[in-house]
Structure 1
Amino acid sequence: MKNFLWPLALATMLTGCATAVSPINGGFYTNVKAPMLVTDNPDKPTKIGRASVRTILGVYAVGDASIEAAAKNAGITRIHHVDYQSENILGVVADFTVIVYGN
């Protein structure tokens, strides 16, 4: 019985370790897009910038998912609105992406 419990305990501890911000999470897979911010910029957005961060098993996270980085990546100086996308695969790998729309 003990030989069966160790792998089960290990799998339980590792599942869900890698998380990303999301209003809803699936048990095996999550891919959610949602709004984050709206400004009073009346101009129709012509540029889209992205910035991401990734974590593996929740042990470390790499990247810069700031609004500033996303805007800079696309040369946006006037932000229209900001969305985000959150993806989580089996709690092993999670990505969080900020998407900035503007001019």
Structure 2
Amino acid sequence: MKKLFFLLATTGLLAGCAGGKSPVGLALISNVKGPISATDHTVTSKKGASCAHNLLGIVASGDASIDSAKKKAGITKVSSVDYKTTGIFPFYGKTCVNVKGE
């Protein structure tokens, strides 16, 4: 009974731990990229990135918004938006949104 309780408690604690967006699901070690959107605008003279971090599912911070990435690079016309997620589950996760445009 004690082993079952320990297993359930551990699973419950890890369920909200550091993770991020991934096209293939969460893994013990992640380093994946994926698409968010694309437009017909083909000029990509500028690139902007914006990131958010998660530590142990306890502390999450950052602004991984498209708007933030656009502002950092001075982009007014978006060509494409992608993301990159890196991390070591369940300890640390980082997701960055990458915007290209002019």
TM over 0.5: yes
Where do 1:50-89 residues align within 5 Å?
Answer: 50-89=49-88
How big is the alpha-carbon RMSD for the aligned residues of Structure 1 and Structure 2? 2.3
The amino acid that maps onto 1:63 is G
- 8 A Cα contact 1:34 1:85, kept in partner: yes
* Structure 1 position 9, deviation (Å): 7.0
Q: Distance in 1 between matches of 2:93 and 2:82?
A: 17
TM normalised by structure 1 equals 0.81
Where do 1:6-21 residues align within 5 Å?
Answer: 12=11, 13-14=13-14, 17-21=17-21
The amino acid that maps onto 1:99 is N
Aligned to 1:46: 45
Q: Which runs of 5+ in 2 are unaligned?
A: none
Aligned to 2:28: 28
Equivalent residue pairs, number? 100
Q: Distance in 1 between matches of 2:27 and 2:83?
A: 20
Q: Distance in 1 between matches of 2:67 and 2:36?
A: 14
Q: Distance in 1 between matches of 2:27 and 2:82?
A: 23
What is the DSSP-based 3-state SS (H/G/I as helix, E as strand, rest coil) of the residue aligned with 1:70? helix
